[in-house]
């Protein structure tokens, strides 16, 4: 999953890849994310499924 976002460090547009794979080079790989919820709180989560 490709994600574009504005960096809070230098305010430039950046792009990253989020991975969610139970067998990534023989080991599980579930990336973590931080996102802004509707009430402006920051929420942490871990990807479990991408389709």
- Residues spanned by the domain of 34: 2-46
**30 domain-assigned:** yes
Please report whether residue 51 resides in a domain.
no
Whether this model's pTM surpasses 0.75: no
Domains of the chain: total: 1
Residue 23 lies in a domain: yes
What is the C-alpha to C-alpha distance for residues 24 and 50, in angstroms, rounded to an integer?
14
DSSP secondary structure letters along 10-46: T--EEEEE--EEEEETTEEEE-EEEEE-TTS-EEEEE
Does the residue 14 lie in any domain?
A: yes
Q: pLDDT tens digit string along 1-51?
A: 899 988 888 999 999 888 888 888 998 889 988 888 888 889 999 988 877
In a domain, 37, yes or no: yes
């Amino acid at each position: 999953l490709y994600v574009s976002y504005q960096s809070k460090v230098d305010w430039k547009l950046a792009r990253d890849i989020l991975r969610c794979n139970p067998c990534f080079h023989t080991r599980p790989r579930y990336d973590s994310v931080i996102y802004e919820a509707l009430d402006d709180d920051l929420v942490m989560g871990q990807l479990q499924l991408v389709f």
